[in-house]
Amino acid sequence: MQQLNSAQVRELRAQAHGLNPVVSISENGLTDAVLKEIDVCLKAHELIKIRVYGDSREDRLAYYERICQELAAAPVQHIGKLLVVYRENPDKSAAKNTAKPRPAAPRRTKRSFQG
């Protein structure tokens, strides 16, 4: 399981605020198929929200811990029936570092009109 410091958690929580849940855990619980889907979503997005249908807080906490343990992810936030999970994708990080920077746009200056 990844460990994040408080500044990282705060930043990820802010980023997750506008996200919609991409995976739902229903009455069947956290099956292998659901874990696989969460893994695929983490590879694609790094930061995801998961909605848990069910009223048992203990079940939600157990799902949260299991997801983080089995998928080597970091817990970001558990609020109500939503779980926010983060896992860095090394392929995405490498692509960000090797991307060529865009050239700066030419500066525009004010032109005065003399007439």
Is residue 32 a part of any domain in this protein? yes
Is residue 102 a part of any domain in this protein? no
Q: Is 9 helix (H, G, I), strand (E, B) or coil?
A: helix
Is residue 33 a part of any domain in this protein? yes
Query: pLDDT (tens digit, 9 = 90+) per residue, 72-104?
Result: 999 999 999 999 999 998 777 666 655 555 555
Owner of token pair 């198929």: 33
Is residue 50 a part of any domain in this protein? yes
Within a 13 Å sphere around the CA of 45, how many CA atoms are in the beta-carbon half? 21
Is residue 111 a part of any domain in this protein? no
Is the model's pTM score more than 0.85? no
Owner of token pair 């855990």: 25
The parent domain of residue 32 ranges over: 6-89
Query: pLDDT (tens digit, 9 = 90+) per residue, 3-48?
Result: 899 999 999 999 999 999 999 999 899 999 999 999 999 999 999 9
- Say how many Å lie between the first and final Cα of the chain, rounded: 70
Q: How many domains does the chain have?
A: 1
